[in-house]
Structure 1
Amino acid sequence: MKREEVKNKIPGITDEQLDWLMGENGRDVTAEKTKAASLQGQVDDLTKQLNTAKDGLKAFEGVDVADLKGQITKLQGQLTEQADSFAFDSALDGAIRDAHGRDVKAIRGMLDVAALKASKDRTRDIKAAIDTLAKDKAWAFGGEGTGVTVTTGGEHGTGGGAGDADGVEAAFASMNPNLKV
């Protein structure tokens, strides 16, 4: 609004009235400009956010979501299988150690591990398999009197005389009594 336009529209307006009217109009215009600038700032921010989102979405162009879901499902299955395998190995090795096994790997090698893994009641079946193995092959578990005895053919305190056979000859002779050497 211009002063001359107001004087032409309102004949007889005083300068004091015109100053007041122009001041009020200026305050209104300034307030509206402030609002417009604030709204323009919001528009600029939203435009930047939209462009950032568009750029981010471009990275996913051509991505097969169904394929990604399939890969995730596959990896989750592998992770579950691996966790189950670790839990089984830990349970089996712990059960072997509890049975006083000397060498966990050796005893484990004597068990049907695949059947035990497929078992519905692993705890019971592992214990039963180890108990059966301990009865059949007690030497592997370090039980009393279950060690392997190796003889040299002679006993301590015997032999050593000039006419006595050495340990190997004595062992051979005891194993082959009808054979003359």
Structure 2
Amino acid sequence: MADLPKHRPVLARAAYAGISEAGVRLEALAEGHLLHVLGTIEPAALAAELVKAGFTNSSIRKAGFRQWFVAGDEPLAPAGLDALTAALAGKAVVMDQSHGRVRIGVSGRSSRSLLSKGTAVDLDPAIFPEGHSAMTMVGHLSVQIVRTGDDSFELTVLRSFAESLWDELKHMAASAEKDGGL
């Protein structure tokens, strides 16, 4: 149908092109897929079921008690979602959040300092190593922070707040640069 709206990534405009300031890089990540899994399944068993259902390049992020986000850059294939839902029947429920949340990458030598301006989570690598995630607030926004590398993080936020989070991160980076760095 020609009158249906087309999906447009929320951070697609030129104003949201990747930026680098004060040793920090911000980038809008591929919207890909994001599944919310709730249930009694253990992460290792969930990982095995993800591979069987074709989600080989997805990562599992703890989102709460018996809750995980499964994130990846590839668009969601309905057949894969159906296969995963069937495989987890009786153990977990899968909800597609792909169109409801947006991922933003924050990386660079000053990424941890930048994020510490907006959240109370201790991002020291000894306490928050690669692969760890936390549901927290960045300013007034609810965000999931995941350490994806030594100096890199991924922030997942509700789609309707993505522009606000981007602007907040950009403002924190610009003010840090103005004040002499992070």
Range of TM-score over shorter length: under 0.3
Q: Report which of the two structures shows the higher radius of gyration computed on alpha carbons.
A: 1
- Larger strand proportion of the pair: 2
Higher relative contact order (CA 8 A, sep 6+): 2
- Larger helix proportion of the pair: 1
Per the normalisation by structure 2, the TM-score is 0.24
Per the normalisation by structure 1, the TM-score is 0.24
